[in-house]
Amino acid sequence: MSGNGGGLMLKVENLHAEIDGQEILKGVDLEVNLGEIHAIMGPNGSGKSTLANVMMGHPRYEVTEGSITFDGEDVLEMEPDERARAGMFLAFQYPSEIPGVSVANFLRTAVNSVREQELNPMEMYKLLQEKMKIMKMDPSFAERYLNEGFSGGEKKRNEILQLLMLDPKLAILDETDSGLDIDALQVVARGVNEMRGPEFSAVLITHYQRILRYIEPDRVHVMLDGRIVTSGGKKLAEELEDKGYDWVRQEFGAGTQS
């Protein structure tokens, strides 16, 4: 159960971060309440993926100012595995291949690492079958080596299968929709919508509005040059689709306040 009584799940405040001495995040502010799904949109290079990586503790990024609080805890004091155990989950834009490790073995290790009590093999098998059914995945998929020879859609499906298996409080989905055909997109959306509920929050990082046709966001934020420059409802995403990111640059570009 969450320790914050249905209130704030994630708070990012004046977050500045750099990589190799170059500042990418220049004062990001974001609040996500329990049970909400937020979309972060923005052109390439606006800092969206950097924000995801910093939230999950990627070692190459250095936070120079600001704070991230998750479920009342200071995230920046936690190692990446501690963040995962606390209930944070990151789906990567480019999942890595792990030859020699089956999907089932990988998931068993991942699930048991975030649970206080390990699942026995029978419980794990039942859980995996149940979640694979939701994702319309063939049972033989579990025996394949992780991401090896997977199509883009299979990699993304596998990421969402991990999400369902791990049952986190907060999912950060970094461009999970990139390169997906419409069928794969709908399957990914089904997995996220399956998680939706009063105890689950998500941050969808995306370049395009199309995934938001299948996963309805409570709030949409637009990132530009390392900051969130404007926020709104689903209409904002539709407006972006119509007018493009140049419109955002003109309206909220350098030198203007959000």
Q: What is the DSSP letter of 202?
A: E
Could you tell me what percent of the chain has a pLDDT over 90?
59
54-74 burial by CB neighbour count: b if 16+ within 10 A, else e?
bbbbeeebebeebebbbbebe
- How far is residue 148's CA from residue 252's CA, in Å, rounded to a whole number? 42
Which of these ranges, 76-90, 120-134, 146-160, has the smallest mean pLDDT? 146-160
Q: If you classify domain 8-99+171-252 with CATH, what class do you get? A: alpha beta
In 3D space, the residue among 224, 138, 144 whose CA is nearest the CA of residue 187 turns out to be 138
Is this structure's pTM higher than 0.85?
Answer: yes
* Domain coordinates in residue numbering, the chain: 8-99+171-252
Q: What is the pLDDT of residues 87-140, one digit of tens each?
A: 999 876 566 777 888 999 999 998 998 888 899 999 999 999 999 998 888 989
Asked whether 206 and 38 are in contact (CB, 8 A), the reply is: no
Q: Where are the beta strands (DSSP E) in 129-246?
A: 145-146, 170-174, 201-206, 219-224, 227-232
- How far is residue 180's CA from residue 17's CA, in Å, rounded to a whole number? 30
Q: What is the DSSP letter of 213?
A: G
Q: What is the pLDDT of residues 208-233, one digit of tens each?
A: 888 899 999 999 999 999 999 999 99
Task: Give the dihedral sign, CA 5/206/167/50.
Answer: negative
